[in-house]
Chain A
Amino acid sequence: MTFSGFKVVKEALTGHKGWRPLWRDPDPKPAYDIVIVGGGGHGLATAFYLAHTFGELKVAVLEKGWLGSGNIGRNTTIIRSNYLLPGNEPFYEFSMKLWENLEQETNFNSMVSQRGIINLIHTDGQRDAYRRRGNAMLLAGADARLLGRDELRQMVPFLNYDNPRFPIKGGLMQSRAGTARHDGVVWGYARGADQRGVDIIQNCEVTGFRIEGGAVQGVETSRGYIGAKKVGVAVAGNSSRVMSMAGMRLPIESHVLQAFVSEGLKPTIPGVITFGAGHFYVSQSDKGGLVFGGDIDGYNSYAQRGNLPVVEDVIEGGMALMPMIGRARLLRAWGGVMDMSMDGSPIIDRTDIDGLYFNGGWCYGGFKATPASGYAFAHLLATDRPHETATAYRFDRFARGHVIDEKGVGAQPNLH
C-alpha cells in the first residue's frame, strides 16, 4: 500500500475500507543476521536504513512493549542542529538533512515542520557564546542567524522583554529547525522497514544474551531464544539494564525528564522558543496545545514519572518568559526515562564482545537524532566502520579524555 493524494481521496469516497495495517505481526524466526533490541525511534530507523540503504535482508527488531511506547512517544518533538562541538554539529546537521527528506523516503507523513527555533539571549556573554555557536553551525553547513532585540520583538511580541533578572537581548535562530510528529516517525520507519522485509516483533522482551568465546550468538527473549550474527542494542532509558545482562557497566545514569501540554489554543507560538537562563522551552503542537518542558529531575530514576518541584520550576520559567501562559490550563504532564551520559553526548560503538553493538546515551536530546542515529548505527552494523559523522561517539572517549561536553560541566549527568 502506497500513500498518495489519490489514495486518500479514493478512501474518503469509499468509506475508508481499503486501509490495511501498516506492518505485519510475524512470529520470531529461529535466527537472523542482525537483531535490533528496542523498537523505539532509533531501533526502527536502524532497521529501516539497514534494509533500505545497506541491503541487509535478514533483520529483526525486538520490542518489549508496543512500538513507540518508550521515549519516542514521550518527548517534546524538537528537531534542530544548533550544536557547537565538532564531534556533534556535523552529526546533527546530517540528521536535519535526513529529516528534510524523511517523508519522501518513507512515503509517510511524519509531519516534519521546519518552523524554526530561537534560543534567547539575555546577557552579552550569552550573545558571544551564541555567535560562536552560530558560526560553528555555519561551518558545518547548517543555517544560523543572530537576531537583534527589535527583530525578535516583531517575530514573538508576547515575550517578557523587560524581565528584570533576564531581560531579552536577542536570539539565535535556526530556521530549518522545528518539530516532527513523534508517532508519525515511529510508524513511518516501522512501515518502511517492514515493507523491506524486516520482522518487527512486539511484546518480545530481551532477557539475556547468549555469549560464547567472547562472541554473541543470539538473545534470550520472552518469546524464546533467537539466534543472531550481530546484535544492536538501542533501548534508550534502559541501556544500563540491558547491557548489564552482557556484563557491561556504562558511562550512563538513568534520569527522568518531564513534559507538559496545555489545552488547545489558537496558533500563538510560531516556532520553538528556548529560555536557557530559566530552563524552559515551548512550542505549539498542530492540535494547538502548548508543549513545554524544562530540566531533568536530577537524580537516578526509572519511575517514568517526575516530582512536583520540577513542575513548579518549569511553570515558573514559563511565567517569567511569557506571562500569558498563566491563562492556559494544563492538560497533562508525564515523565520519560533517559540515559544521561557522562558528557551529555551519545555513544554509537561496538563493544568488546564480538557482534554486540551499542547505541545509547541520548540524554534528553535523542529525538532529533533519530534519522542520523539509525543511519549511523546501520552503517556500523553493516560495515563494522563508524559513519563519518559519528566517529567521535566511541566508548573509549571518556578514558582517553576526548569527551564531547557541550555544557562543559564534567562527569555529572544531572547537570548536562
Chain B
Amino acid sequence: MLIPHPLLGLRDAQEFTYLGDASLMQRPDPTRDDAEEAFADYVFLRDNPAGVHRELWFHEAGDRSWLVVTRDTTTHEILGAELASDVKPGGAQ
C-alpha cells in the first residue's frame, strides 16, 4: 500500500505504524461524572466498519507526523490522507 502523505507525496505504508480508528483523537473529558465508563468505551470499543474507515498512521520511519488516512477496509484502497494536526489543531484532547 502507498499512502499519499500531504507533504511528502506517496510513501510506502511500511514506513508507518498503525494505531487504529481516527476517532481515538476524541478523548473523553476526564472530569465528567461518567468518565470511567466513557474511558472504558474509548479504550476498548470500536465501530470496525467494513468499508470506508478513517484511521491513524504514524510516519515513524519518516517525518514522524501523524496522519488521518481514509481507507476502504474491503479493498485496501486509500482514498486520502491528511495531517492529524490539520484535522484537529492542538492535537488530541
Contacts and interface: CB of A to CB of B under 8 A. Distances in A.
Interface of A: 238, 240-241, 244, 249-254, 298-303, 307, 309, 342, 398-399, 411-414
B46 interface: yes
Nearest to B43: A411
B84 to A, nearest CB: 16
B86 to A, nearest CB: 21
Interface of B: 1, 13-14, 18-21, 37, 40-41, 43-50, 53, 55, 71, 73-76
Contacts of A342: 43-44
Contact of A253 (B20, B40, B76): B20
A399 B48 contact: no
A298 B48 contact: no
Given A300-B55, A300-B73, A252 B46 contact: yes
B48 A240 contact: yes
A244 B71 CA distance: 20
12 contacts: A241-B50, A249-B45, A252-B48, A298-B18, A300-B73, A303-B73, A303-B75, A307-B76, A309-B13, A398-B44, A399-B40, A411-B44
A386 B37 CA distance: 25
Contacts of B40: 398-399
A251 B14 contact: no
Contacts, number: 65
A252 to B, nearest CB: 6
A110 B71 CA distance: 40
Given A300-B55, A300-B73, A301-B73, A307 B48 contact: no
A299 B55 contact: yes
Contacts of B76: 301, 303, 307
Contacts of B74: 302-303
B55 A251 contact: no
Contact of B18 (A252, A302, A414): A414
A251 B73 contact: no
Given A299-B18, A300-B73, A414-B18, A253 B44 contact: no
B46 A251 contact: yes
Most buried by A among B37, B41, B50, B74: B50
A297 to B, nearest CB: 9
Given A299-B18, A299-B55, A398-B40, A249 B73 contact: no
Contacts of B47: 240, 244, 249
A250 B71 CA distance: 21
A413 B46 CA distance: 11
Given A249-B47, A399-B37, 18 more contacts: A240-B47, A244-B47, A249-B46, A250-B46, A252-B48, A253-B20, A253-B46, A254-B50, A254-B73, A299-B55, A300-B21, A300-B48, A300-B73, A301-B76, A303-B73, A303-B75, A342-B43, A414-B18
